[in-house]
């Protein structure tokens, strides 16, 4: 095999070997799709999914970052190629007064990936997920034909959240958010226990477009900090000058992230946060805490990290609290724990966000008893009618997937109609029998 | 596909369901293995094994595999891989034989323990090389390096298989495929009931545990119990007394 490359997700678990190709133009993709080889292919963006959706052991992986054209903005809509990153989109469009409709905690994701995972951000309770702002997308199917799909087409909703398995997304037209400045007005509240975090977050959702809470899972009470923010309307001119470090500092010893150091850091963060404050902050500082340190995933050592994000419906607050308590008692240490309330889902068949409470956690893979703990949490989540996020999953039991995603049966059926030879394949698809 | 914790989800057992293979399979099914393929001769034992594994939660398929029919191996095992990736394959064809120096019985022992096991392993290795992942577990024996008057036919066949598997490990380096040679000592099973166990004997459960540990650690050679690996440095006469 030419260009054999070992690929992993951002969590750096489950490496697999594939042939990696970086097409420079859409026309180069068609012959590849028509002669797929025995192990198929999958599109890959910037590799920020934590698990294995952008890996394809023994097959072909298409690095899409070569398709990176940005069209002109017309009436608040822009058509871009799938390999364009949100980082570039912000750099180009923020000065013109436009912001991506949805951004996750990192800018280093491509538009193709954002559609395929139907990503969400802190404005989900108001604006929904990324797919809700896509008005058209070009999909190169297994038959080698590119179709333009709109939300009126069911295949659009198989593709939004479809983890790249319906075809290669080559272009998308996105509705942008107009902004007047490149600053955020950020309100912060410190809450002493989980219940008050949840109450405060619910209140913040009523008043602010962007909200989220950080929860200290190692503290007995589940204390945390809630943020509610909006785009500043007056003041500073629009500019976008965010950049992170190229890499995490190399001198940090492996294993620095453990329960004791995290507990210490959490205590420090909590102690230095004012009880209530209002700040004006640049966009990147508010939206993209994960981009402050490049390759921060390496801090977790060679075995990497396991992300766990779930959502349970509104009304399942008891389940959420039970899960947080179980994590605390297990002594598994999550460094970045983020609580968010979701609004209505987009309609993507395998799209993750659904109305309810979402909690995202990350653990070093080597955490003792972690595999067992997460299996138990899955059961609680499924029982409550919730689900885990495929863009972050790397270890779910396949049999729980249909319980969590009622749209899975339809997705499986449609995928086999669109792609009977299973040209589009990934490690995730094999692991979870998508 | 294996998950983030390195736990396999599909398992192929070549050579029917020995007690060791079943103990290993049950442990793997209790974790993440969901698809199990029992490749062996149709028999009540294979059916019973399928029922046990299904009750433990696996979806079980059977494939008619006969160690003697080497010309069918590529097709039988090829079909298994065509049905989906195999994360772990246990090559556990075994026939103890007896101490009679009957040439035809000796040929059978060599066919099952060496030739049939080797051809099956080659087909598995090739399929895993194409999927660029998977673990191939080859059951050798401590007797491969220490033949005795009671078991040297069996030992000679295992010795050939052992050498083959170690060579295969080298041949597959960098392919993403993990080859592991397991060398159990005397194992108390139905087959060895009535035989007085030597000083160091082990159980199918212990072997299964060692296989799982070896898979996790990506070991090349696993001795069960581990102490046997150290004993190889002692003179043969001493080792025979301890291991039987």
From first to last of its 244 residues, chain B has per-residue pLDDT tens of 899 999 999 999 998 788 999 999 999 999 999 999 999 999 999 999 999 999 999 999 999 999 999 999 999 999 999 999 999 999 998 888 777 789 999 999 999 999 999 999 999 999 999 999 999 999 999 988 888 888 899 999 999 999 999 999 999 998 999 999 999 988 888 777 777 888 788 999 999 999 999 999 999 999 988 777 777 777 767 766 666 5
Q: Is the residue at A276 inside a domain?
A: yes
Search chain B and give the residue with CA nearest A399: B34
Q: State whether A209 and A267 are in the same domain.
A: yes
Q: Is the residue at A20 inside a domain?
A: no
- Find the mean pLDDT for residues A37-66: 97
Q: State whether A284 and A377 are in the same domain.
A: yes
Search chain B and give the residue with CA nearest A8: B4
CA separation for the pair A225, A210 (Å, rounded): 14
Q: State whether A153 and A211 are in the same domain.
A: no
Residue among A38, A51, A398 whose CB faces B4 most closely: A51
* DSSP state string for B139-182: E--GGGTS--TTTHHHHHHHHHHHHHHHHHHHHTTTTTEEEEEE
Q: State whether A167 and A212 are in the same domain.
A: no
Q: Which of A133, A163, A179 is the last residue of a domain?
A: A179
Q: State whether A172 and A206 are in the same domain.
A: no
Q: How confident is the model at residue A336 (pLDDT cuts 50, 70, 90)?
A: confident
CA separation for the pair A341, A322 (Å, rounded): 17
Residue range A354-381, pLDDT digits in tens: 999 999 999 999 999 999 999 999 999 9
Least confident span in A29-43, A163-177, A242-256: A242-256
Q: State whether A163 and A199 are in the same domain.
A: no
Q: How many Cβ pairs within 8 Å bridge chains A and B?
A: 63
Residue A58: what pLDDT? Answer: 95
Residue B193: what pLDDT? Answer: 78
Note whether ipTM > 0.90 here.
Answer: no
Residue B227: what pLDDT? Answer: 77
Q: How confident is the model at residue A250 (pLDDT cuts 50, 70, 90)?
A: low
Least confident span in A169-183, A190-204, A214-228, A289-303: A289-303
Q: Is the residue at A419 inside a domain?
A: no
Percentage of residues of chain A with pLDDT beyond 90: 82
Search chain A and give the residue with CA nearest B129: A58
Residue A262: what pLDDT? Answer: 81
- What is the least distance, in Å, from the CA of B81 to any CA of chain A? 12
Q: State whether A366 and A278 are in the same domain.
A: yes
Residue A1: what pLDDT? Answer: 45
The reply to whether residue A39 touches residue B130, judged by beta carbons under 8 angstroms, is yes
Contact A401, A125 (CB under 8 A): no
- Total number of domains constituting chain A: 2
Q: State whether A170 and A210 are in the same domain.
A: no
Q: How confident is the model at residue A238 (pLDDT cuts 50, 70, 90)?
A: confident
The reply to whether residue A430 touches residue B133, judged by beta carbons under 8 angstroms, is no
Q: Is the residue at A28 inside a domain?
A: no
The reply to whether residue B4 touches residue A38, judged by beta carbons under 8 angstroms, is no
A400 touches chain B (CB under 8 A): no
Q: State whether A134 and A199 are in the same domain.
A: no
- The chain-wide mean pLDDT, for chain A, equals 93
Q: State whether A198 and A304 are in the same domain.
A: yes
Residue A302: what pLDDT? Answer: 83
Element (H, E) at A150: none
Which residue from A357, A358, A366, A153 is spatially nearest to A256, judged by alpha carbons? A366
The reply to whether residue A395 touches residue B5, judged by beta carbons under 8 angstroms, is yes
Contact A22, A65 (CB under 8 A): yes
Specify the CATH number for the domain of residue A350: 3.30.70.2520
Q: Is the residue at A371 inside a domain?
A: yes
* DSSP state string for A305-330: EEEEEEEEETT-HHHHHHHHHHHHHH
Contact B131, A58 (CB under 8 A): yes
Q: Which of A132, A151, A179 is the last residue of a domain?
A: A179
Residue A247: what pLDDT? Answer: 52
Select the residue from B2, B4, B129, B131 to test the A interface by mutation, using most A Cβ atoms within 10 A: B4
Q: Which of A138, A154, A179 is the last residue of a domain?
A: A179
- Whether omega for the bond prior to residue B225 falls within 30 degrees of 0, making it cis, is yes
Q: How confident is the model at residue A90 (pLDDT cuts 50, 70, 90)?
A: very high
**Structural domains of chain B, ranges and CATH numbers in brackets:** 10-243 (3.40.50.720)
Residue among A16, A365, A396 whose CB faces B132 most closely: A16
The reply to whether residue B3 touches residue A399, judged by beta carbons under 8 angstroms, is no
Q: Is the residue at A403 inside a domain?
A: no
Q: State whether A199 and A336 are in the same domain.
A: yes
Phi then psi for A64, rounded to 5 degrees?
A: -90, 0
Q: Is the residue at A423 inside a domain?
A: no
Q: Which residues of B touch A38 (CB under 8 A)?
A: 130
Q: State whether A217 and A310 are in the same domain.
A: yes
A430 touches chain B (CB under 8 A): yes
A164 touches chain B (CB under 8 A): no
Q: Is the pLDDT assigned to residue A281 strictly greater than 80?
A: yes
Q: Is the pLDDT assigned to residue A251 strictly greater than 60?
A: no
The reply to whether residue B133 touches residue A397, judged by beta carbons under 8 angstroms, is no
Specify the CATH number for the domain of residue A155: 3.30.465.10
Helix, strand, coil percentages, rounded to 5, for chain B:
50, 20, 35
B154 is catalytic: yes
Search chain A and give the residue with CA nearest B7: A395
- Find the mean pLDDT for residues A321-331: 93
Residue range B163-176, pLDDT digits in tens: 999 999 999 998 99
Q: How confident is the model at residue A335 (pLDDT cuts 50, 70, 90)?
A: confident
> Could you list the residue range(s) of the whole structural domain that residue A350 is in?
183-235+244-395
Q: Is the pLDDT assigned to residue A245 strictly greater than 60?
A: no
Q: Is the residue at A426 inside a domain?
A: no
Element (H, E) at A57: none
Least confident span in A234-243, A331-340, A402-411: A234-243
Q: Which residues of A touch B32 (CB under 8 A)?
A: 397
Residue A188: what pLDDT? Answer: 97
- What is the least distance, in Å, from the CA of A71 to any CA of chain B? 39
Place of tokens 């389940």: A319
- What is the least distance, in Å, from the CA of A15 to any CA of chain B? 9
Q: Which two tokens stand for residue B94?
A: 């075994």
Q: Is the pLDDT assigned to residue A242 strictly greater than 50?
A: yes
- What is the least distance, in Å, from the CA of B58 to any CA of chain A? 11
């Amino acid at each position: 095999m030419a260009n054999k490359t070992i690929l992993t997700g951002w969590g750096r678990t489950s490496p697999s070997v594939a042939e990696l190709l970086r097409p420079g133009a859409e026309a180069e993709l068609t012959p590849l799709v028509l002669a797929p080889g025995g192990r198929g292919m999958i599109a890959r963006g910037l590799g920020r999914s934590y698990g294995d959706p952008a890996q394809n052991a023994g097959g072909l992986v298409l690095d899409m970052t070569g398709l990176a054209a940005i069209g002109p903005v017309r009436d608040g809509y822009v058509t871009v190629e799938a390999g364009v990153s949100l980082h570039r989109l912000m750099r180009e469009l923020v000065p013109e007064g436009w912001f991506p409709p949805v951004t996750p905690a990192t800018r280093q994701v491509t538009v193709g990936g954002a559609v395929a995972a139907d990503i969400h951000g802190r404005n989900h309770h108001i604006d929904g997920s990324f797919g809700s702002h896509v008005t058209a997308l070009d999909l190169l199917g297994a038959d080698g034909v590119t179709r333009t799909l709109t939300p009126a087409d069911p295949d659009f909703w198989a593709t939004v959240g479809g983890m790249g398995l319906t075809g290669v997304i080559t272009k998308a037209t996105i509705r942008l958010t107009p902004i007047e400045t490149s600053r955020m007005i950020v309100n912060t509240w410190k809450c002493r226990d989980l219940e008050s975090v949840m109450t405060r977050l619910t209140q913040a959702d009523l008043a602010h477009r962007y909200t989220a809470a950080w929860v200290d899972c190692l503290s007995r009470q589940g204390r945390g900090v809630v943020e509610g923010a909006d785009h500043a309307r007056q003041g500073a001119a629009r500019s976008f000058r965010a950049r992170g470090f190229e890499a995490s500092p190399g001198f940090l010893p492996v294993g620095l992230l453990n329960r004791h150091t995290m507990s210490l850091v959490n205590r420090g963060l909590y102690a230095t946060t004012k009880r209530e404050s209002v700040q004006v902050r640049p966009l990147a500082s508010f939206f993209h805490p994960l981009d402050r340190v490049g390759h921060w995933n390496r801090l977790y050592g060679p075995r990497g990290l396991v992300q766990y994000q779930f959502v349970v419906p509104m009304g399942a607050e008891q389940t959420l609290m039970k899960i947080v308590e179980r994590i605390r008692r297990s002594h598994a240490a999550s460094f970045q724990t983020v609580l968010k309330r979701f609004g209505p889902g987009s309609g993507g068949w395998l799209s993750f966000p659904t109305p309810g409470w979402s909690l995202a956690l990350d653990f070093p893979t080597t955490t003792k008893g972690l595999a067992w703990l997460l299996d138990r949490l899955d059961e609680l989540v499924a029982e409550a009618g919730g689900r885990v996020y495929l863009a972050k999953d790397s270890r779910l039991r396949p049999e729980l997937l249909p319980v969590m995603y009622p749209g899975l049966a339809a997705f499986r059926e449609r995928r086999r109609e669109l792609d009977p030879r299973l040209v589009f394949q990934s490690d995730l698809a094999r692991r979870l029998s998508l | 596909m294996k998950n983030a914790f390195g736990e396999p989800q599909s398992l192929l057992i070549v050579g029917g369901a020995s007690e060791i293979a079943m103990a290993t399979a049950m442990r793997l099914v209790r974790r993440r293995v969901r698809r199990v393929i029992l490749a062996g001769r149709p028999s009540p034992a294979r059916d019973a094994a399928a029922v046990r594994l299904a009750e433990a939660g696996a979806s079980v398929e059977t494939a008619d595999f006969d160690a003697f029919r080497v010309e069918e191996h590529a097709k039988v095992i090829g079909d298994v891989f065509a049905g989906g990736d195999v994360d772990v394959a246990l090559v556990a064809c075994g026939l103890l034989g007896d101490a009679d120096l009957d040439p035809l019985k000796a040929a059978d022992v060599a066919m099952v323990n060496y030739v049939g096991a080797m051809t099956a392993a080659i087909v598995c290795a090739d399929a895993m090389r194409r999927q660029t992942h998977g673990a191939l577990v080859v059951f050798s024996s401590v007797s491969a390096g220490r033949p005795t008057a009671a078991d040297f036919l069996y030992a000679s066949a295992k010795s050939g298989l052992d050498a083959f598997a170690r060579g295969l490990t080298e041949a597959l380096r960098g392919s993403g495929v993990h080859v592991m040679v397991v060398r159990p000592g005397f194992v108390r099973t139905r087959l060895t009931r009535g035989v007085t166990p030597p000083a160091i004997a082990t159980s199918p459960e212990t072997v299964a545990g060692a296989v799982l540990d070896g898979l996790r650690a990506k070991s090349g050679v696993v001795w069960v119990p581990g102490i046997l690996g150290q004993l190889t440095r002692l003179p043969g006469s001493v080792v025979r007394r301890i291991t039987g």
